Amino acid sequence: MVLADLGRKINSALIDLSKAPVVDEKVLDALLKDICAALLASDVNVMLVQRLRNNVKKSVNINEMGGGVNKKKIIQKAVMDELFELVDPGVEPYKPVKGRPNVFMMVGLQGAGKTTTCTKLAAHYQRKGWKVALVCADTFRAGAFDQLKQNATKAKIPYYGSYTENDPVSIALEGVDKFKADRFEIIIVDTSGRHKQETELFEEMKQISAAVQPDSTIFVMDGTIGQAAESQAKAFKEAADFGSIIMTKMDGHAKGGGAISAVAASQSPVVFIGTGEHMYDLDRFEPQSFVRKMLG
């Protein structure tokens, strides 16, 4: 179920509630059943769905409500609060500081949209007046440097990479040092997304991280991977200890449940979503407005 449909389903369950002549345990259970079914169909992790159901039931406690209270309002608020909770881990993402270098390191699997997102993020900050540069430390995927170079050139963003050096740690460090010396404010490092072994990929991420000491590590995740989001987010959190997430491919048929599961698995906020293949297809992600929009 795509995100807009999830919103419509939850919305329509809440409208059913508002029309119910009496609000009792049965009506509440029916509402929760509809909402949980919609969340599950959107690939939200089953444990999270159960938790939402239990928390709403606990916080509403319908049998102990007096006659004078507006039960519908209380239930609606409890549902909204739980939905916010699902997408908002309550952790503030890193905020870059003007006038000094801020190093961002991007991690994620090959194909997730990392290289594309690097330029999108760089262009976003450049438009806001920051002095921005890109470093390509993906020596594993043939063509990664060319891709970054092409995107960067189009966006008029300085870049660093190498056709001959094949040690990603050296490239990352050289690039970051060079741009720091040139007083760049935002330096975005693209890393590899695949190796023969997952352990090698994670080892490489750790080495690059130790070398460049990023102020912020961002996990780039494909928004269309559904239930696989949870384990992928967990694995990258353990290996790279990222601080925030960018979900890509949220245009088209992304179910949105992946975003919710990734946030819960890593207790890290989604900061941007990718909404297309072009440079400006990047939107800021705000949990509150996401839930409100989802519910129309």
Out of 42, 45, 102, 115, which residue is the one contacting ligand GDP (CB under 6 A)? 115
Token pair 């407005």: residue: 289
23 binds ligand GDP (CB under 6 A): no
Between 49 and 225, name the residue whose CB sits nearer to ligand GDP: 225
Between 27 and 160, name the residue whose CB sits nearer to ligand GDP: 160
244 binds ligand GDP (CB under 6 A): no
Smallest distance, ligand GDP to C-beta of residue 264, A: 22
The residue at minimum Cβ distance from ligand GDP is: 274
277 binds ligand GDP (CB under 6 A): yes
Out of 281, 286, 292, 295, which residue is the one contacting ligand GDP (CB under 6 A)? 281
- Among candidate residues 281, 286, 216, the one with its CA nearest the CA of residue 248: 281
Between 6 and 144, name the residue whose CB sits nearer to ligand GDP: 144
Out of 111, 213, 231, 288, which residue is the one contacting ligand GDP (CB under 6 A)? 111
Between 63 and 197, name the residue whose CB sits nearer to ligand GDP: 197
93 binds ligand GDP (CB under 6 A): no
**What burial letters (b/e) apply to 261-290, b meaning 16+ CB within 10 Å?**
bbbbbbebbbbbbbbbeeeebbeebebeeb
DSSP H stretches of helix in the chain: 3-19, 25-41, 46-60, 71-87, 114-127, 144-154, 168-181, 198-212, 229-240, 257-266, 287-294
**Which tokens hold the place of 110?**
């090959």
Q: CA 65 from chain center: how many Å? A: 38
249 binds ligand GDP (CB under 6 A): yes
296 binds ligand GDP (CB under 6 A): no
- CB count within 10 Å of CB 220 equals 27
